[in-house]
Structure 1
Amino acid sequence: MAVLSLFSSLHGSLSPPHLRLLSFLFFLPLHSLAGHTAIEFLYPNFSTTYFDFVENSGVFLSSSAFSVAFQNPGGQDSRYYVVVLHARSSTTVWTANPAAPVPRSATLSLTASGLALSFPNGSPAWSTPRLSAAAAALQLLPSGELRLLDSANTSLWSSFDYPTDTLLPNQLLPVSSLLTSATYENDPAPGDYRLLVTSNDAVLQWAPTSQFYWSISSDARSLKDSNLQVAYLSVNATGIYLLAGDQKTAVFEMFLPPTASPSSNGFHMAKLDHTGRFRKMSFSPNESLSTSFFDTDLVAPSNNCDLPNICGSLGLCVPWANNSTCRCPDSFAASGNGCSPVNSSVLENSSSCTNDGDAGSPPSFMSLGSRIGYFGTKFSTPNNFRPNISTCQDLCSANCSCLGYFYRASSMSCYFLQHRIGSLFSVETVNSEATPIVYVKTFGRISPPSSPTRLVIVLLPATATTLLVISIAIFCFARWRRNKRRRRDETRTKSVSRGQKWPTLAELSDEEEEEKEEEIVIPGLPTRYTYAELEAATDNFQTVIGSGGFGCVYKGQLPDKSLVAVKRINAASTQQGRREFCTEIAVIGNIHHVNLVRLRGFCAESRKRLLVYDYMNRGSLDRALFVRSSSLVVLEWKQRVDVAVGAARGLAYLHAGCEHRIIHCDVKPENILLHDHNQVKIADFGLAKLMNPEQSGLFTTMRGTRGYLAPEWLTNAAISDKTDVYSFGMVLLEILRGRKNRADGSDSELTGSPSPYFPMLALEMHEQGRYEELADPRLEGNVNWAELERIVRVALCCLHEEPGSRPSMTAVVAMLEGTVPARRIGNKHHEWEVIGDAAAALLLVVAGGVWAEIA
C-alpha cells in the first residue's frame, strides 16, 4: 500500500511520457505475480491505457476473485471496454461503457473528481457521475464491487448501483432498478431485454414493445412467503429471492430444482443473456479452467416459446420435448429474421407510422391461422373491452402503430400488436372459443391480372346489389325522419292545447344536442356512466377531496365496491364540442402507465361532464408538502426523490410514449397524487391538449395555475411539451424546499421577514455552490447532498425562458436518475452545456421577477 502511495505522489509530478514509462516499469513485476499478489487499490492522478498492461491481458486491478481490465470481446480491436471479470472463468460481470466502445489507445484516468474514460483525442466516452466529495481511492472488493472512496473510506460511488446484465451474490438490486441484456454475446451494447424490479414482483420486459413476458410471481417454481412490499432482488447458491426492506425477509423465492446440486463453495451469479433468458449460474472451482464453463442451474422463462423473439418476427414456435422448433404460419415463408406473406403482401412497418401503404391503398388484414398465441397477451390488459371483431379491426386500421390484432371471442377482448411483432407460439386447446383470432396488417397485395370481360362480369352484379341496398336505406331513413317530425309536431300541439308554453330556444338547443349525443358512437371509449349513476356513487356529491380550476373532485364508490375519484367539470370549462370531448376521452382512456392515474370512465349528458379516476388514498402532493399538521408525517428525502422521478416519468410518457403527444397544461403539486407503497401518479390530464405527431406547438386560450405558468402563456405564443417542463421545474423546487415558490405570507410569519422568490434564491445558491441552504429545514439535514444539487440543476434547466433551451421530459428523467449530467441545451451548438453562465442566469432572473409579480 505504501508503495502505491509513493507511485501516486510521483505520478502527479512527471510529464506524460515519463508517466507512461514509470507506470509500465512499476507494474511490470506485479504482472508476473498476477494471481499471487492482489492489487486492490488505485489512487488519484492515475492514468493508463490498454498498452500499459497488454502483457497482463489488460488487467490493471485485482482482488482475490475478480479483476478490472481492458477487454475487447470477440477480438474486435476497435471496440474496447473497461470491465470487471470473474478471474477464474474470465467472465464479464460488469461493464463501465457498454454503449460507448473505445479504441485500445483510449485513456482511463482516476482523479479526485472520479473515474473517466476518454478517446485518444481527449473527448469523453464514459465517467462516473458527480461525486459528493473528493475521491481518495479506487477499490475492487473480493465481492466484485468496484468502489470510489473518500478520505474517510466512505463509498462515493459503486458499480453495484449501476448494474449491466449480471447480479452477483453480495449485490442487491433495488426496486425500480433493472438489468439490461447485451445485444449479442460479444457485443455488450444495451439489447432488447430488461429485468425490472417492482414493488411487488420482478418482471422481464421486451423493450421494443414495453411488454412483459415473464414474472417471478407467475412462475410455477416460485413460492410466496410474505405479503410485504418487495424492496430488493438477490441471488445466492440456493436460488433467486425477492426480499423485503429489511434485506432478510423473503417475499418470493425460486429454489433450484432437485436435480441441481451446485457446490456450496463455488461461485454463483444471475445473468440476463442476449436472448432474453434470466439465468442462475454456478461455477465450480474444481473444474479445469481450460474447458470449464458456467452451469445453468435455473433459467426463466423455462419454455423457449415464451421468449418474445425466439423464432423471429411472425415465426411460429412449436414446443417439442424439452426443446422447441420454429416454422412459419400457413401462407407465410421464411424471410430474413422471421416470416413474411408468400403472396407478396407488404407487412405494415410502425417505424414510418403511416396508413398510406405502399400503393396508397387502405390496409387489409391477413389471417395467421388458428391455435396461435402471442406472449404480449399474457401480461397485458386488452386495448379494448367488449368490442366485436369488426370494431377491433377498425381501431387497428386507424392506429398506425398497430401492426395486427388478437381477438378473443370468449371474453370479447381486443389486443393490439404494436410497434414491433415478435414470435408466435402454437396453442393446443379443444375449446375453439378460447383460441384467439389473429390478423396482421398488410398493404399492396398483388393479385393476378384479370381480363376486362371477367372484370365486368364480376363487378356488374355487385354494383347493382350495392345500388339497391343504398336506395332502400335512403328510403327507410327518409320515412323515419318524416315520422319523427310528425310525432314532435303532435307533441307540441298537445302542449299548447293544455296551456303549456312552447320550448325556449335554449331548450330546443339542448334537446337537439341530446339527440346528437345519442348518435355519437366512438370506438374505444372507456366506461360511460350516467349522471344518476355517479350521483349515487358519490352520495349526491357529498365528500369533496379536492378542487381546482376545472372543478371539484369527490370521493365515490362504484357498485363493485371499488373507490373512485369523480371530477365534476365546471360549465365554463366545457366549451369544446361533445364529439371532440368524447374523442379525447377515447385517446386518454387507452393510456396506461404506472405513473398516470387511470381514467375509469366518464359522463357526458347535456352540459354535465364528469371524469372518473382511480382513487389515491394519500391525497395530493401539495397536502404532503405544504400542510403543517402534527398528524402528517414529513416526506423523507428518498420519498421526495421518488416522487420527482415518478412524476417526471409520467410526463415523459405523455410527451413521448403515446401515439398522440399530450400536453398536461396544469402541472402542479395538486395534480401529483400519492398512494400506499410510494406510488406516484400524475392526475388531471383528462382535459390536456392532444398534439398530432407533426405538430410542434398549438394555440389555446386555456390557462394553467399561476405560479407554474411558463412565459409563453403570457405572451400568447404557441405552447408545446416544453410548457409542462417549465411547470415541472417549479414543482421540483417546491419538492426540495417543502413550501410554495411564491411568497404567500406564511413564510413571513415563521421567519419574521419576507421570503425571496425561491427560484431566484435557488439560482443564487447554485452560483455560489450553497445547495444545502435550499433543503427543507424539516428534514434536519437528512438529505443526500449530491441528489439535492442534481435536483436544483435539473430545476434550473427546466426554468429557462426560451422553450427550445429547456430539456425534454425524457432528458429530465435521465438527469434525475443520474444517467445524464444536469445540463441545458445550448442555442448555438445544440449540445449540452452546464448551467451557470451569466446569460442563462439573467434570463431566469428576469422571468422569475415577472412570475413573482403575477403570483
Structure 2
Amino acid sequence: MAPPLLFRLSRLILLLLSLAVAAAARIVPVQYLYPPFNLTYLNFIDTNGVFLLSPAANFSAAVYNAGATEAASSDDSQSRYFFSVLHTASRTPVWTATTAGSTILESVVLSLSATGLTLLDPSAARPDPAWSTPRLRQPVAALRLLDTGELALVGGRDNATTLWSSFDHPTDTLLHGQTLRFGAPPLSSSASDHDLSPGAYHLVLTGGDALLQWGSLTYWALSSDPAAVQDSSHPVASMAINASGIYLLADNARDTVYRLLFPSPPAATAIMGLKLDPSGHLRALTLTAGAGAPTTAWAAPANDCGLPLPCPALSLCTPGGNGSTCMCPDALSTYSSKGGCTPADGSVLAVPGSSCDADNQQRYRYVSLGAGIGYLPTRFAVPDTSGDAPTACRDLCSANCSCLGFLYKNSSRSCFLLRDQMGSVSRADAGVGLFIKALPPPAPQRRGSSSPLSLITIVFGIVLPAVAAVLISLLLYAMLKKRRPQVLKKKKSGGGGGGSWFKLPAMLSSSRASSSSVPSGDGEGVGEDEDDVLIPGLPTRFTFADLDAATDGFKWQIGCGGFGSVFRGELPDRSTVAVKRMNVGLGGTQGRREFLTEIAVIGNVHHVNLVKLRGFCAEGPRQQLLVYEFMNRGSLDQVLFRGAKLEWPARLRVCVGAARGLAYLHGGCDRKILHCDVKPENILLDDRGGVKIADFGLAKLMSPDQSGLFTTMRGTRGYLAPEWLMNAPITDKADVYSFGMVLLEIVRGRKNSKKHQPATAEDDHETSEYFPALALELHEQGRYAELVDARLEGRADVAEVARVVRVALCCLHEDAALRPSMSVVSAMLDGTMDAGEPRVELLRYLRMYGRGLVDLRPAGWMDPPPGNNKGSDTTAAAASSSWSPPSCVSAQQLSGPR
C-alpha cells in the first residue's frame, strides 16, 4: 500500500506547486518591474491587462484594449491593444506608447530589457520595433511607476538615476507635476476613443502662448480665453497644471507669464490632468480615487461651435442651450451627415490641387455662403493680404493649388486664404464674406439606346476626322524633322507675354523649332533627338529672340550676382520687366525637364509680397532666362544703404511685407519653399509702397554640381544661420535667422558687418561695434532709441522700434528650434501678436563674435571681389569650403508636399 500512497502524495504536492505558481503569475508587481520581462496581452487577461501598479494603486501600467470599455461591435476595435499608463479607478489612459502603426496585436510583444522598452513583432520577416525608448546612457535596472503617473526606466545604485521618463514624452495628457516644455513635441489627441494612435488635434506651446491647432489652423489660444490673466511679458518656457488652474511659466519655472484659474477648483489633493480629447476639446479632468469616470473642471473651447469640426464640413454650427445644431447655409442646401454640405446648383467643390489643372482653372467659380457667415480659424490667422479689393483676394486663391476658398473682411480689407482642408462654419459679423471655390456641374449625359443614325454620326463625325488628323500630324512631323527652320518667328500668344500661364503648356508639344532652331547665342542648340518635355502648369514661355528684342540686345543691365545678370526689358504690350539671364546649363533632357518642373512650381506661387514670375525661356544648353515683374525702386539695400533715407513708417512696412512673403513661402503654398538667401538685396520695392521678396526658389533651381558658382552653401556671409556651419539639418528656421539680421539692418540703416566702412569720420563710432551684439546689449538696458538710424533724427516710434528689435533677436536664437516661425514673426511685427522676449542665453554667441572670439564664417570663405556686389541680384562669392552642408534642395525635399 505504500507505493500508491506515496504516488498520491507526490501528485498532490505537484498540484499545489502548480497552483502556487499560477497564483504568483497573477500577482501584479508594485512600483518596480525588473528585466528581462516579455509579455503580450494574453499574459494578463486575469488582471485586465495590468502588469505594474503604483504604490497607492493610483495608476497602473497595462496592455490596454481601448475598445473593451465600450460595447463595440467591431472585431477590429476589440483586437487593438496599446501599452498605456492608466488612471486605475477609471481606466483612463494618461500616456500611451504609440506612434502611427504601433498598435499591439496578438503577436506583438512588449519587452523590458537592459537596453530599454520595445514593442515588436518577432514573427515578422524584419522584426523592426514599432516603438522603443531611445538609446540610454547606462543599463536599465528596473521599470518604475509612481503615484504621480510617471513611468520611468531607472538605473544606477539604488535605482536613483532616471534614464527615461514618460513625463518627458507626453501624448494627449499633462498630469499634475508634469511640465510641457517649449520646443518639445506638442500634446496630440488620440484618433478616437477606441484608437489611441495620434489624431488630428494638437496643443502647441509657443514662446508666447499655448495654442490648439487642427493641422496648421489655430482655433483656440490660452491668451485669448476670457479667464486668462497675463502676469508678465517673459517668454514662455513651460506649461503646467495643478488643482487651481493652468500656468504658462517663465524660464525660471517660478514666474508666471499667463495663468488660467478654474471656476470651481477641486480639492488640493485631487489628481488633475489636462487632456486633449479626440473631438479637439482641451479638458481639465479631476481623476478621483474611487470608481467612476473623471469629472471635467474646465474645458476649451467653451462650446462645440468653437471646434474645427463640430459639424460636417461647411455645415453651419449654431450654439444653443442644449448643445449645438448643424445645418447647411442657404447656398449649400444639400446636406450629408458624412460629406457635409455641397452647392445647391450641383457645382463640385474644389479639392486641394484641383486648381492646378489648366482646364479647371478656366471653369472654376466661387460660391458665396452669404453675409454674416465666417470661419473660426481666421480669428487667429495672419491675413494673406491687407488693403486689397476682394477681386485680388479671389485671384490669389485661384492661383494657389491648395486654396479651397477665401474669407474677406470689409472693415480691414483683409484677405484670408482657406487651404488644404475645411471644417464647419459659424456666425460672424455682417461685414465678413466667405467664398468657396467650386467647379460648374458636369454636363448631363443623354440616356437611351443608340440608333443606326447615331452610329453613323459617331463614325463619320468623330472617328474619321480623328484618324485624318492623326495622319496629317504624322505627315507634318516627318516634314518638320526633315527640314529644320532657321528662325522661329514671334507668336502673338508667346512673345507679347499677355497669355495666361495655364494656356501655354500646349506650346511645349509644338514643333521642335521652338527649342532647337533658335540661336542660343553661343553656337549651341538642342539636338534633333531630344525628347519634347511636357510639363503642365508652366508660366508664359518666351523665345530667346523675344527677350533679346525686349532688352535691346541685353543692353540695360540693372544687377548681377552668383545666379546671373539682370536686365531691364520692355515687352510688346509696353509692360516693363526684369530679365534674369542665369549662369547655368540645362544638362540634357533630364536637366531641362527638372528646370521646367521647378519653373512650374515657382510660377504657381503667387502672393502680394512675392515678385511675380511673368515667364521664362529655355533654349539650348545655356539659355535659361527668367522674366519677372519690374520693381522700379530697386532693392532694399539700394534704398536703405545708398539712396535717400527711408522714413520709419516705410521701414516698418518693409518689415511686415517681407515677413508675410517669407511666411507664405514656408507655409502658404502647396510646397514649402526655403529661400536660403534672405538679405536686403533680395527685397524689392516700388514707388507705390510695394514690398516683394525676390529670388525665392532660385537656390532650388540650382543643382548640387552647379552650387560652386557662388558657394558650396546657400546664402550670403553675414546672414548665414549657425546651423549652416555646424553640419546641422537645414530647415525654414535658417531663413528666420537671416530675416532677423535684415530687421536689425533696417533699424540701423547700415550693414551689420564689422567691416562696414563709415561714410564719414563722425560715423566711425557707429561702425566699430558688431551691431547685433550692440542691439542685444541695449535691449537688455531698454535703450531702443539709441539703435535707430541717426539719419531719421528721432522720427521713429520707439515702441515700434522696440518691437522690431525684440522680434529680430528672437529670430537670432542660436538654437533653430527656439526661433519663431515666419508666420509668428509676421504676426508680431504687424501687432496682431505680442512680441516675444528674446532669450539672452541663446544670444551670447553674438557678443563673442563681436569681440572676435568666434568666427561665423566657414573655413575657406573668401570675401567677394570688389565691384561684384551691385544691383538687386547679389550673392556673395566664396571659395569652396571643405565642409559641405546639405543643399537647399534637400531641405525642401525633406519638408515634403503640404
Q: TM-score per shorter chain, which class?
A: 0.5 to 0.7
Contact 1:603–1:611 (CA under 8 A) maintained in structure 2: no
Please tell me whether residue 558 in structure 1 is matched to residue 558 in structure 2: no
Indicate the residue corresponding to 2:633 in structure 1.
531
Please tell me whether residue 299 in structure 1 is matched to residue 303 in structure 2: no
Indicate the residue corresponding to 1:846 in structure 2.
none
CA gap of 1:295–1:589, structure 2 versus 1, over 3 A, is closer
SS of residue in 1 equivalent to 2:642: coil
Q: By how many angstroms is 1:181 displaced?
A: 0.6
Please tell me whether residue 437 in structure 1 is matched to residue 433 in structure 2: yes
Report the AA paired with residue 127 of structure 1.
Answer: S
SS of residue in 2 equivalent to 1:323: coil
Q: By how many angstroms is 1:410 displaced?
A: 2.1
Q: By how many angstroms is 1:337 displaced?
A: 3.8
Output one character per residue of 1:298-327: Cα deviation in whole Å (capped at 9) or x when no partner. 111113212111112101011223632111
Q: Which of these residues, 130, 142, 146, is aligned with residue 141 of structure 1?
A: 146
Superposed counterparts of 1:270-285, under 5 Å? 270-285=274-289
Indicate the residue corresponding to 1:195 in structure 2.
203
SS of residue in 2 equivalent to 1:227: coil
Contact 2:309–2:423 (CA under 8 A) maintained in structure 1: yes
- Distance between the aligned counterparts of 2:19 and 2:122, measured in 1? 19
Q: Which of these residues, 6, 27, 31, is aligned with residue 26 of structure 2?
A: 31
Output one character per residue of 1:91-146: Cα deviation in whole Å (capped at 9) or x when no partner. 11000025311213421111222110112415222111122222222111221111
Q: By how many angstroms is 1:621 displaced?
A: 5.8
Q: By how many angstroms is 1:204 displaced?
A: 0.5
Output one character per residue of 1:262-321: Cα deviation in whole Å (capped at 9) or x when no partner. 132222111001111101111333x5x2xx221111111113212111112101011223
Structure 1 residue runs without a partner (length 5+): 1-21, 451-502, 543-554, 569-582, 627-639, 655-669, 687-736, 746-756, 761-794, 812-855
Superposed counterparts of 1:349-748, under 5 Å? 349-350=351-352, 354-355=356-357, 362-427=363-428, 429=429, 432=430, 435-445=431-441, 506=555, 513=570, 516-517=575-576, 524-526=607-609, 531=633, 534=636, 538=640, 540=642, 558-559=648-649, 562=652, 602-603=684-685, 620=719, 644=728, 647-648=730-731, 650=733, 675=810, 678=813, 742=859
Q: By how many angstroms is 1:598 displaced?
A: 10
Indicate the residue corresponding to 2:45 in structure 1.
54
CA gap of 1:561–1:437, structure 2 versus 1, over 3 A, is same
- Distance between the aligned counterparts of 2:283 and 2:117, measured in 1? 31
- Distance between the aligned counterparts of 2:105 and 2:663, measured in 1? 53
Q: Which of these residues, 107, 110, 113, is aligned with residue 111 of structure 1?
A: 113
- Distance between the aligned counterparts of 1:652 and 1:327, measured in 2? 44
Indicate the residue corresponding to 2:826 in structure 1.
none
Contact 1:564–1:612 (CA under 8 A) maintained in structure 2: no
Indicate the residue corresponding to 2:533 in structure 1.
none
Indicate the residue corresponding to 1:68 in structure 2.
61
- Distance between the aligned counterparts of 2:250 and 2:662, measured in 1? 41
Which is worse superposed, 115-124 or 591-600?
591-600
Indicate the residue corresponding to 1:174 in structure 2.
181
CA gap of 1:302–1:157, structure 2 versus 1, over 3 A, is same
- Distance between the aligned counterparts of 2:173 and 2:673, measured in 1? 27
Q: By how many angstroms is 1:530 displaced?
A: 5.9
CA gap of 1:211–1:111, structure 2 versus 1, over 3 A, is same
- Distance between the aligned counterparts of 2:384 and 2:271, measured in 1? 45
SS of residue in 2 equivalent to 1:214: strand
- Distance between the aligned counterparts of 1:524 and 1:234, measured in 2? 39
Indicate the residue corresponding to 2:314 in structure 1.
314
SS of residue in 2 equivalent to 1:320: coil
- Distance between the aligned counterparts of 1:89 and 1:272, measured in 2? 17
- Distance between the aligned counterparts of 1:133 and 1:265, measured in 2? 36
Q: By how many angstroms is 1:373 displaced?
A: 1.0
Superposed counterparts of 1:770-785, under 5 Å? none
CA gap of 1:365–1:808, structure 2 versus 1, over 3 A, is closer
Q: By how many angstroms is 1:652 displaced?
A: 11
Structure with the bigger RCO (C-alpha within 8 Å, sep 6+) is 2
Superposed counterparts of 1:219-238, under 5 Å? 219-238=225-244
Contact 1:199–1:677 (CA under 8 A) maintained in structure 2: no
Contact 2:633–2:685 (CA under 8 A) maintained in structure 1: yes
Report the AA paired with residue 331 of structure 2.
Answer: S
Indicate the residue corresponding to 2:165 in structure 1.
158
Output one character per residue of 1:667-686: Cα deviation in whole Å (capped at 9) or x when no partner. xxx99x96368376799x99
Please tell me whether residue 214 in structure 1 is matched to residue 299 in structure 2: no
Q: By how many angstroms is 1:448 displaced?
A: 8.7
Contact 2:347–2:440 (CA under 8 A) maintained in structure 1: yes
Q: By how many angstroms is 1:533 displaced?
A: 10
Report the AA paired with residue 524 of structure 1.
Answer: H
CA gap of 1:516–1:229, structure 2 versus 1, over 3 A, is same
Indicate the residue corresponding to 2:252 in structure 1.
246
CA gap of 1:563–1:92, structure 2 versus 1, over 3 A, is same
- Distance between the aligned counterparts of 2:246 and 2:666, measured in 1? 38
Indicate the residue corresponding to 2:35 in structure 1.
44
Report the AA paired with residue 381 of structure 1.
Answer: V
Report the AA paired with residue 678 of structure 1.
Answer: H
- Distance between the aligned counterparts of 1:117 and 1:436, measured in 2? 51
- Distance between the aligned counterparts of 1:192 and 1:120, measured in 2? 31
Contact 1:567–1:612 (CA under 8 A) maintained in structure 2: no
SS of residue in 2 equivalent to 1:559: helix
Q: By how many angstroms is 1:70 displaced?
A: 0.4
Indicate the residue corresponding to 1:325 in structure 2.
325
Supply the RMSD in Å over aligned alpha carbons: 5.1
- Distance between the aligned counterparts of 1:382 and 1:352, measured in 2? 23
Output one character per residue of 1:179-209: Cα deviation in whole Å (capped at 9) or x when no partner. 00111111112111100001110001111xx
CA gap of 1:504–1:621, structure 2 versus 1, over 3 A, is closer
- Distance between the aligned counterparts of 1:296 and 1:252, measured in 2? 21
- Distance between the aligned counterparts of 2:134 and 2:250, measured in 1? 28
Structure 2 residue runs without a partner (length 5+): 1-16, 69-76, 447-551, 559-566, 580-602, 612-630, 696-716, 738-769, 773-807, 823-853, 863-880
Report the AA paired with residue 303 of structure 1.
Answer: N
Output one character per residue of 1:154-192: Cα deviation in whole Å (capped at 9) or x when no partner. 222111121110000011000023100111111112111
Output one character per residue of 1:646-680: Cα deviation in whole Å (capped at 9) or x when no partner. x53547999xxxxxxxxxxxxxxx99x96368376
Report the AA paired with residue 36 of structure 2.
Answer: N
Indicate the residue corresponding to 1:95 in structure 2.
96
Identity percentage over the alignment?
Answer: 33
Q: By how many angstroms is 1:351 displaced?
A: 5.7
SS of residue in 2 equivalent to 1:217: helix
Q: By how many angstroms is 1:505 displaced?
A: 10
- Distance between the aligned counterparts of 1:355 and 1:62, measured in 2? 58
CA gap of 1:324–1:45, structure 2 versus 1, over 3 A, is same
Contact 1:357–1:444 (CA under 8 A) maintained in structure 2: no
Superposed counterparts of 1:3-42, under 5 Å? 28-29=23-24, 31=26, 39-42=30-33
SS of residue in 1 equivalent to 2:26: helix
Q: By how many angstroms is 1:513 displaced?
A: 3.9
Report the AA paired with residue 640 of structure 2.
Answer: T
Aligned residues: 557
CA gap of 1:409–1:184, structure 2 versus 1, over 3 A, is same
